[in-house]
Amino acid sequence: YGILRSIPNKLGGTIALVLSIIILLTLPFTHTSHVRSMTFRPLAQLTFWTLVATFIMITWAATKPVETPFTTIGQITSSLYFTFFMTTSILGWLENKISITNT
C-alpha cells in the first residue's frame, strides 16, 4: 500500500504494486550464491537489514498524510525496495567470486 501511495500516477502505482508482489515470486530463481546460510555472507546480511529498514520506512510513510516529505520518503524507499531484488543475484555472484579467491 505504501508503494501504491508513493507514486502519484494511478496506473503507475497499480503497476508498481503488482510488480512488488511478482518480484517476490522471482526471488528463488535469482538466488545465485553457493552458500545458503546468511551467516557466512556479510554483504547479504547488510542488504537484508537494509530491506527490513526499507520495509519499515515504506509502512511508516504509508500511514502519514499525502504531503511533500512523506511522498518523497515513500518514493525513495520504494525504489530501494526494487533495487534490493535487482541486486540480489549480482550480490550472490560477487560473494561466490570472493569466496573462491579466499580459498
Give tens-digit pLDDT for 5-56.
888 888 988 999 899 999 989 888 887 777 777 777 888 889 889 999 999 9
Provide the phi-psi class of 92: left if phi over 0, else alpha when psi is between -120 and 50, else beta: alpha
Residue 48: give the domain boundaries: 1-102
Rounded to whole angstroms, how far apart are CA atoms 86 and 90? 8
Buried-state track 11-39, b at ≥16 Cβ within 10 A, e below 16: eebeebbeebeebeeeeeeeeebeeeeee
Q: Are 74 and 61 in contact (CB under 8 A)?
A: yes
Work out how many domains the chain is built from and give that number. 1
Higher pLDDT, 6 or 72: 72
